[in-house]
Structures are given as C-alpha cells and as structure tokens.
Amino acid sequence: MRIKNKKNGLFIILSSPSGAGKTTIAKKLLKNNKNIELSISYTTRKKRPLEKNKKDYKFISEGEFTKLKKKKYFLEWAKVFNNYYGTSFLQVQKINNKGKDVLFDIDWQGSKKIKRKLGKDVVSIFILPPSKKELVKRLKKRAQDPDHIVRERLSFYKMELSHWKEYKYVLVNKSLNETVKKINSIIETERIIKQKKDLILKKIRNL
Ligand code: 5GP
C-alpha cells in the first residue's frame, strides 16, 4: 500500500537518542501548529505513569501487535529497546487527506523506512542533547522509568547517536524554545520549497 499525497502535506520525522527531549519538543510543536498532527504509534512497551493510552501511544500486547503486523497494518514497525513500535498506515493517510503535515516521533529504523516509502515529501530532523551529562540528567529526571530501563537506554546511546548522518537537519537541543523555533523555521522553509517544486513540475508538464 502507498500513501497518496493528494493534498501535498509534509511528513516530518523527529528522531534522537532517548532522553534528548524529542517528545517534549514534539508536544510543543503540535500545540503551536494546528496544521501538524502527530502519528500516534502502537507499542508493546508498558505505559509510563503519566502517559495516556491513545494520546501518547496506543498500548497493545505483543499478540495484538503481531496480528496487526500480519495484516500489514503498519506503514513501518521496529523493535526498539526490546519493545515493538509501529506506525499506523491508516492514521497517516487520514492526517494527510486533511491536508495536514504528519509528525513522526520515531527512531532511526523507522526513519529509514518512512524515507524509502514517502520519499521527497519527508523532512527528517535529528535532535542531539547538549551533552551526555545533560542526557543522563533528563533520563533520570523523567523518573518514569525504573533504573534498569534507564541503564538499558544509556547503553544504546552511542549506537543511536551514530545515525545522525542519515537526517537532513541536525539540531542541538540546548533550550526547548530555541529548538522549537528552529524546527518551525525548517518546516516553513520546507513548505515553500515544496510549493515551488510542485509549481515547476506543473509548468514543465505543460511546456
Ligand atoms: P519511548 O519508549 O521512549 O517512548 O520510545 C523509544 C523509541 O521508540 C523512541 O526513539 C521513539 O521515537 C521510538 N518510536 C516511537 N514510536 C515509534 C514507531 O512507531 N516506530 C519506530 N520505528 N520507532 C518509534
């Protein structure tokens, strides 16, 4: 199945090592930008105390995940830190049909697959923490994960970090407001570039 981008929306990917602040950034971005909607992923991970089902994730069992996978329900899926995560094809198509941009809060594996499937309309952004010390602080401050989970996530840090080259934009998240501002400018610029490209394509077809 393919996403038909009839209304010419963008597909915005946000990735980062765990604890770099990506989910907070995504929330702020969505609050101030009514033309962007979040793709709410399915996951087999346990719900954190402050998370809400169907708002942060759709929390499902491994059995349910396997069933959906078999039905080809996911636009992409991946195993991240021993849990499964997947993007709903249908939800992405619905957001796109409304003429809105889709925001994906996904890892590097998902990013590769989305880029392959949605190609030229993808804007990929990688968020870096200002330092490893700050990342450890944020992971601990979140205090929603037990210690062994925090340790597990830290052990993946270098590997996750190594994927920065696969993204079009790389930002250091020193201050939340500044990072969100930069992402807003990136999105605005990418919208203009896309409109221009589409106009040129239309013109060329008629020449
Ligand atoms: P967390 O468990 O901290 O919410 O997320 C762990 C990692 O999984 C994060 O990097 C997050 O962006 C990624 N992730 C969340 N949803 C998806 C998804 O649907 N697909 C993929 N590939 N990664 C996801």
User: Which residue intervals of 71-175 are DSSP H helices?
Assistant: 89-97, 108-118, 132-142, 147-155, 157-161
84 lines ligand 1 (CB under 6 A): no
Q: Which of 69, 74, 81 is nearest to 40 (CA)?
A: 74
C-beta of residue 156 within 8 angstroms of C-beta of residue 104: no
Specify the pTM: 0.94
Residue 29 CA to residue 201 CA, distance in Å, equals 30
Q: Which of 101, 107, 67, 100 is nearest to 83 (CA)?
A: 107
pLDDT tens, residue by residue, 179-202: 999 999 999 999 999 989 888 988
Mutate to test the pocket of ligand 1, among 41, 115, 167 (most ligand atoms within 8 A of CB): 41
21 lines ligand 1 (CB under 6 A): no
pLDDT tens, residue by residue, 19-67: 888 999 999 999 999 999 999 999 999 999 999 999 999 999 999 999 9
109 lines ligand 1 (CB under 6 A): yes
Per-residue pLDDT at 1 exceeds 80:
no
Residue 169 CA to residue 206 CA, distance in Å, equals 34
Mean pLDDT of 150-156: 86
Q: What is the pLDDT of residue 203?
A: 92
Q: Which of 127, 129, 131, 132 is nearest to 167 (CA)?
A: 127
Instruction: Break the chain into its structural domains and give their ranges.
Output: 11-39+101-205
115 lines ligand 1 (CB under 6 A): no
78 lines ligand 1 (CB under 6 A): yes
88 lines ligand 1 (CB under 6 A): no
Ligand 1 atom 19, closest CA:
86
The phi, psi pair for 15, rounded to 5°, reads -130, 160
Q: What is the pLDDT of residue 18?
A: 87
pLDDT tens, residue by residue, 58-114: 999 999 999 999 999 999 999 998 999 999 999 999 999 999 999 999 999 999 999
Q: What is the pLDDT of residue 125?
A: 98
Structurally, at CATH architecture level, domain 11-39+101-205 sits in 3-Layer(aba) Sandwich (3.40)
- The residue ranking higher by pLDDT, 8 or 93, is 93
Ligand 1 atom 6, closest CA:
80
Residue 45 CA to residue 201 CA, distance in Å, equals 44
